[in-house]
A and B are shown apart, each in its own frame.
Chain A
Amino acid sequence: MNVIETSGLGKRYRSTWALKDCTLAIPAGHVVALVGPNGAGKTTLLHCAVGLLTATTGKVTVLGDLEAGSLDALERVAFVAQDAPLYRHLSVRAMLSVARNLNRRFDEEQAERRLRTLEIPLDHKVGKLSGGQQAQLALTLALARHPDLLVLDEPVARLDPLARHDFMSLVVTAVAEGGLSVLFSSHVISELERVADYLILLTHGQVQMAGEIDDLLAGHTVLSGPAKESGALTERFPVVQSQLAGRHAQLLVRTNGSSDPPAGWESDDVSLEELVLAYLREPSASTLPGPLNLMATSSKKAPL
């Protein structure tokens, strides 16, 4: 089952296309990180998926074949928007009862237990809680709905490192308890490296790269060798990014399953951060075919 599937999805605001011909299929059971530069369309994509926006073209389905935003979908999808929207003047307890009354499915007992573990006092005003606690409260309310899909927009952007860690720990613990898929957007690469196992890279409103992180890493390598031979190499491998000096060249390439580096070249594993930055820097790399087909390959680091 795919937790989110889009085909030819487009969203236009007046004359600007925020998403354009965006096609995507995210399998269930993953923690998916959505990355991309500012203005790439991440929030728009998330809003389309949870039904806050209607697509201009194409369509989005969630959790199999439910139409995004339909009643059945709303029941099983939880969303926490960018700045953890809560009623700041209410007490935590009142916030809980609001959430209970606004949702058909709401596990108040679980929510209270979580808040106790997090040491968030029920009688405090929401607005008086720290930023980290507010984010945890918003997440607790979302999880109490027992969603099958949890969507988070920039959940940790405004949090300090400790609050960030605690927040993501709450997310992955819920995942470990079973049955929950997560999609979150983030700029913090180190964070998503620990938490996510699936990556979607969005540029200019289109999917540039998508796949399981292990497969994406295995499907790319950094080749280092003589600059004058780099031309021949680019015919063999799709190059994501090349750095050429007088004699020396470093190329980040897709291996397309072949594991042997050409004679005279050294190959080195690529880190997630390197990979993401390379793709962000070279938006045109999206035009090369391949990243979506990498899922089957799992070549190991080539022997030297």
Chain B
Amino acid sequence: MKIEKQVLGGEATLVSPMVFRLDPRSGVPTYLQLVHQVEHALRLGYLTQGDQLPRIKDVVASLSINPNTVLKAYRDLEQKGFIASRPGQGTFVKVAPDTVGLPELTELRRTLVAGWLRDAAAAGLDEDGIVALFMSALRDFHDRPAERRPSRRDGRRRREGVA
């Protein structure tokens, strides 16, 4: 388990704008908690492109967890394309996940309420039924990333237009 020694910024300096915490009672595996927290930080803007993630050494020391756990989380994020590791320097944010602007969100919400939700209610589904159906459809959707691509590209182009 050889981990690259990363550039030192002195003992107490933290190189990253974000910090991790662990919830031992959540039942979520530790590496997944780290993954979720990075994704969350990206969505909320605590982390943006070019930012450095906490050094493995620092995460390990502050949470007292196995270095392999941090490596696993960072590898997972790397595979998702969010981060890239630069040997000898550290791990950096490559791209923030697509965030959707407010006008798009409002429009999406309108079509959901006026269209699908109204149909579902008319068909006799109660609230729990709607949630169950939606979650199940969402899972299917996630299992087939090919179907997702067009909407994503669309979202990015439109956001540029807004900005």
Chain A residues close to B by CB (< 8 Å): 29-31, 117, 165-166, 168-169, 171-173, 175-179, 190, 193-197, 271
Contacts and interface: CB of A to CB of B under 8 A. Distances in A.
B3 A178 contact: yes
Interface in B59-86: 60-69
A169 B61 contact: yes
B2 A179 contact: yes
Contacts of B2: 178-179
Interface of B: 1-3, 5, 11, 22, 24, 27, 30, 56-57, 60-69
Nearest to B63: A194
Contacts of A177: 3, 5, 57
Contact of B64 (A117, A172, A178, A197): A172
Given A168-B64, A172-B65, 14 more contacts: A117-B11, A169-B61, A169-B62, A172-B66, A177-B3, A177-B5, A177-B57, A178-B3, A193-B24, A194-B65, A195-B65, A196-B66, A197-B68, A197-B69
10 interchain residue pairs of minimum CB distance: A169-B64, A176-B67, A29-B1, A168-B64, A178-B2, A176-B60, A173-B61, A172-B60, A194-B65, A176-B57
Contacts of A196: 66
A194 B1 CA distance: 17
A176 B64 contact: no
Contacts of B57: 173, 176-177
A29 B68 CA distance: 10
A30 B64 CA distance: 15
B64 A194 contact: yes
Contacts of A165: 64
A111 to B, nearest CB: 16
Contacts of B67: 172, 175-176
Contacts of B66: 31, 172, 175, 194-197
Contacts of B69: 194, 197
Contact of A194 (B5, B30, B56): B30
Contacts of B1: 29-30, 175-176, 178-179
Contact of B60 (A169, A179, A193): A169
A177 B55 CA distance: 12
A272 to B, nearest CB: 10
Nearest to B70: A176
A205 B144 CA distance: 50
A190 B56 contact: no
Nearest to A196: B66
Nearest to B4: A178
Contacts of A271: 27
B64 A195 contact: yes
Given A169-B64, A197-B68, A176 B3 contact: yes
Nearest to A113: B11
A9 B2 CA distance: 31
Nearest to B59: A176
A50 B57 CA distance: 28
A271 B22 CA distance: 16
Nearest to B22: A194
Nearest to A171: B64
A271 B26 CA distance: 11
13 contacts: A30-B1, A117-B11, A173-B57, A173-B61, A175-B1, A175-B66, A175-B67, A178-B2, A178-B5, A179-B2, A193-B30, A194-B63, A271-B27
A190 B61 contact: no
